[in-house]
Structure 1
Amino acid sequence: ATDSFLSAASFQETTRVLTDAAIKGKADHLLGLKENVIIGKLIPAGTGMVGFPDDDEAEMEAGVENTGLHEDEPLADAE
């Protein structure tokens, strides 16, 4: 079972579920995958970590510079 009325409305009687939620003043905290997909937000998946904790230290020891993409750099055209 889920506490999300958006998730419930996606596969049950939509009108009844949404009307009940509105009458009772329910709030959906958007914690699950389905409700985030419904409203077009990023899904709560992954660890949120950019890299592995040991990567930066190992790269520094090896003298490797991280040259990741930046927002202002366009992607190269695929050939």
Structure 2
Amino acid sequence: MNAILRHPSITPAKLDDIEYAIASIQRCKKLINIIFLFNLIYSHPLFFFFFFFIPLSHFHLYMLSQPKPLISDSVEA
């Protein structure tokens, strides 16, 4: 790599482009690692249990605890 960067055809502008490209690749690698980590967390079975089943059961218990309207209340006389 150092031999390439010391080549006479590499100008400072090209060197800046190369450094920018390397930095972009490193940012992409970090983003890919973050996406992979989220994918790993979301594909875990406990994720489904904690973020879907428990809130759904709480909502169901909440709905069961609400007073139910009588059928005669919803019919206009």
Question: Quick check: TM above 0.5?
Answer: no
- Taking structure 1 as the reference length, the TM-score comes to 0.28
- Taking structure 2 as the reference length, the TM-score comes to 0.29
Structure with bigger helix share is: 2
Higher relative contact order (CA 8 A, sep 6+): 1
